[in-house]
Structure 1
Amino acid sequence: MKNAQGRKSVANGFDFSHGLEGLDADEAAVVRRRQKVLGTMGPLFYNRPLHVISGSGVHLRGADGADYLDCYNNVACVGHSNPHVRQAVADQLGRQNTHSRYLQDEVLDYAERLLATFPGAIDHVAFTNSGSESNDLALRMARVATGHMGVVVTQGAYHGITSLVSSVSPSFGTGLPLAPFLATVRVDDALHDADGLGDGTGDGADGAAASDAVWAVLGPRFNQAFDALEHGGYGVSCVLIDEVMSSDGILPGARGWIARLADAVHARGGLLISDEVQAGFGRMGGVMWGFQRHGAEADIVTMGKPMGNGIPVGGVAYRHPIGDAFAACTRYFNTFGGNPVSMRAAGAVLDEIERLGLVAHARDMGDRLARDLSEILEGHERFGGLRHAGLFLGIDVTDGADDGGAAQPDGAAARAIVNALRDDEHVLISSAGPGDAVLKVRPPLVFDDSDADRLLEAVRHICERGLFDR
């Protein structure tokens, strides 16, 4: 959705311009307090913003006393208030938490564990405070390593909030100028139906055929983008890509096509930067990192949000020649990047991922949700299809056209569904993609069968009320 100035509002955002109509006394009082000190620059979710007072696992407790099933939050990937993470943080706070210019075991312990999850060519890591900082550093490194400035992203991409990174994030709309050295490529039309109702991880001939078909469409587009940057005098420094393409509408299908993209950008002297803020840490099921699903040769991998389960931490893993080139002419220093408390939190997250087998669990639970949700929604007029990889699902909401024309994305209908789930079922999801018409289901990785049962029952209720029908 865009306002009168063309700036894109946050998907499923509370509209401050409508005032406090429809809010109860508690909600209205907290919104007034927030506006007084924070203004309206920072968005809130839902028509009735949720006042959260505590959380545990995949559940959030509201100030209204209700238990809300969190089917959206990838930050607390191993669960809200995870005891193991909490204990690690408390223990380290009782020891020391100073800057990174001292020798410290905590950052080295974590760096060694983290790098062991990557292919051998990615052998060094730098730490930041967020995914935005990680992408900012990665872009700077790519410029130095390649000698070029041009960046290619997908048409609806979001990669962060720093000045540099926001300038290569088209999803912000026209309120922020895009960089002159940016080229964008549309991918949603080619990938929308690439995997039907599956997760796009087909093996053998079927998987190769899907990848071939997608690359037949997208290959020329990316090469045109590379040509444009070269003709403009910028050259090609990198393709920056989120393998789940959340902002483009959740498009994880046709496993393997990003390997072709890596080869294509390498042929132009550029790098593949894999933005794993949303796709990484097992989220996409069966593999730790999104680029691994595609068999792609990533040069730099960026990380953020779920890395510390809510404790601010980010990272940039890279092939060491890239870092050596950067270090030869400049330096990178971050006071809090790699601080001991964040490193202990991140280490505890890896502990839980390994202990609970969450990489395989994300695959199995995601497959179950995709299958059962498709069965419930099939036949309802506004259901336009479902795509998923692991515990990241996108459900298309359309206008259910009955005039002989093709059904179109319906952001208003999607918003009604999201808010009905929040208000009446106490289930939290959001929306994404063109027109904000794709329901975004992305729960913590510890989501279990009883949680799935509750989500499915909530969706049945929504269908019974006719929200998926014209």
Structure 2
Amino acid sequence: MNETQLGDATNSAENNTKTKQTGKKQLANGFDFSKGTQGLDADSATLIERRKRVLGTLGPLFYNQPIHVVRGQGAHLFDAQGNDYLDCYNNVACVGHVNAHVREAVADQLTRQDTHSRYLQDEVLDYAERLLGYFPQTLDHVSFTNSGSESNDLALRMARAYTGNRGVVVTSNAYHGITDLVASISPSFGTGIPLASFLATVEVADVLKNPGPDAEEILLGRFEAAFRQLHDAGYGVSAVLLDQIFSSDGVLPGAPGWVGRVAQAAHEAGGLLIADEVQSGFARTGDAFWGFQRHNADADIVTMGKPMGNGIPTGAVVYKTPIGDRFAECTRYFNTFGGNPVSMRAASAVLDEIEQRELLRHAETIGDRIAGELESLLGDTPGFGGIRHAGLFIGLDITSRDNRGLPDPAATQRIVDELRTRKVLISASGADASTLKLRPPLVFSDADADRLLDAMQQVKSVGLLR
């Protein structure tokens, strides 16, 4: 079994101050601007050139043939020509694109007022009280932000203030956001910009892709070693920050319970568990409302992002009272439009939809159906390396066809592109981008599932999985 990647981030941070721009990681399933627009339709080529003139190439596009989206509905997106694409990827619109109930709540609030949160307002309190009802009683306070990045940034600052330590532990291909602090502990960006010197990374994919009975003990040992490394380096442990579905590591929902063991060890080492629920929260996994609950983990801080508002910019940090009190003793925190009335009305409407449409149960039922039928469909194909899922979060490994079972990112991209041609949208994940990632809106229907499965059958029939 591979050892933890202890010290990789710490050591590379020092080395990369010399190499600077080397080591950039490409976005999985990203459009390559350097290849130009030859072969694209005139509409797409014109838009890409306009985009480059004003946005540059910093903002990525998906697919070798990008899609000009003009409207959405439920789990569907429509392009400028009226083509209907089945969206099997966008978790931000968690209760569906252009959800009528969310739209009406936002429109109503915009006729009333939308200003910053330093006035007494009902909307932020109504939502805060409702949101906290979804958490254990120990997690009893919330602060609002505008995004998951802001949420994780605030959570890390709170952990530093509470513990007096700086060290952070994440998984080896983690992504947690785009602020300076959070990007510095997100190895999935690559090493072109130095990672934090106070960061230790732990490899989890080799264990969790096919977890055995010793998975918990192996992972616990790796995290404990990371804690010792940070203590030895003089940083101590402020937090373990974990995306509770391990999406960027390759979608790794297996061995439920192991995060709970790591949380206990983090507490013993003087640190906190920050549960990043931007992707796994709000009923996504089907078996629990939050990912940390799947692991019976004693989370100290929980972070959320834009799915909570169905795409309306919002985020939240839920925390235990002593943590917030200690942070307040050290500094003041405000977020001008974090918790603004429009975002709070949108977020409340999302909870309405999840509750009234029973989307937690639906995510489990339809996720089990899709995963089961995909496994039956693809189980006999040499290029299929296995499937993992929790509710409507599904990962399928694509491997070489030479019976060695090595990851095959090129074949993965070909499948993504073939599905896009058939108007089904998915993407790729994992350190080597060899895992197909499916993460559709929670309102994904049985008819949508039929269309996805039919498209996968077609992909298999043309030989991309044989």
TM range (shorter): over 0.9
Deviation at 1:64, TM superposition (A): 2.4
- 1:331 is matched with 332
- 2:13 is matched with none
Deviation at 1:21, TM superposition (A): 1.6
The normalised TM-score by structure 2 is 0.95
The answer to whether the 8 Å contact 2:287/2:390 transfers is: no
- 1:120 is matched with 137
Is residue 2:358 matched to residue 1:360? no
- Rounded Cα–Cα distance in structure 1 between residues aligned with 2:279 and 2:145: 16
Deviation at 1:400, TM superposition (A): 1.9
- 2:3 is matched with none
Residue of structure 2 aligned with 1:447, choices 441, 444, 448: 444
Q: CA RMSD in A?
A: 0.9
- 1:262 is matched with 263
The answer to whether the 8 Å contact 1:92/1:341 transfers is: yes
Residue 412 of structure 2 aligns with an amino acid whose one-letter code is: A
Residue 154 of structure 1 aligns with an amino acid whose one-letter code is: T
- Rounded Cα–Cα distance in structure 2 between residues aligned with 1:94 and 1:34: 33
Instruction: Give the match's secondary structure for 1:228.
Output: helix
Deviation at 1:213, TM superposition (A): 1.3
Unaligned residue ranges in structure 1 (runs of 5+): 195-209
Is residue 2:68 matched to residue 1:67? no
- 1:165 is matched with 182
Matches within 5 A, 1:6-155: 6-155=23-172
The answer to whether the 8 Å contact 1:409/1:434 transfers is: no
Deviation at 1:230, TM superposition (A): 0.3
Is residue 2:429 matched to residue 1:468? no
- 1:428 is matched with 425
- Rounded Cα–Cα distance in structure 2 between residues aligned with 1:400 and 1:252: 26
For residues 59-99 of structure 1, the C-alpha deviation after alignment (integer angstroms, 9 at most, x for no partner) is 00111221000000000000000000000000000000000
Instruction: Give the match's secondary structure for 1:387.
Output: strand
Deviation at 1:329, TM superposition (A): 1.3
Instruction: Give the match's secondary structure for 1:89.
Output: helix
For residues 415-456 of structure 1, the C-alpha deviation after alignment (integer angstroms, 9 at most, x for no partner) is 000011001x10000000021000000000000100000000
- 1:285 is matched with 286
Residue 418 of structure 2 aligns with an amino acid whose one-letter code is: A
- Rounded Cα–Cα distance in structure 2 between residues aligned with 1:462 and 1:215: 36
Matches within 5 A, 1:349-388: 349-388=350-389
- Rounded Cα–Cα distance in structure 1 between residues aligned with 2:39 and 2:379: 33
- 1:213 is matched with 214
- 1:199 is matched with none
The answer to whether the 8 Å contact 2:308/2:350 transfers is: yes
Deviation at 1:174, TM superposition (A): 1.2
The normalised TM-score by structure 1 is 0.94
- 2:347 is matched with 346
Residue 452 of structure 2 aligns with an amino acid whose one-letter code is: L
Deviation at 1:401, TM superposition (A): 1.9
Matched positions, count: 446
Instruction: Give the match's secondary structure for 2:432.
Output: helix
Unaligned residue ranges in structure 2 (runs of 5+): 1-20
The answer to whether the 8 Å contact 2:278/2:306 transfers is: yes
Q: Percent identity?
A: 64
Residue 301 of structure 1 aligns with an amino acid whose one-letter code is: V
The answer to whether the 8 Å contact 1:74/1:305 transfers is: no
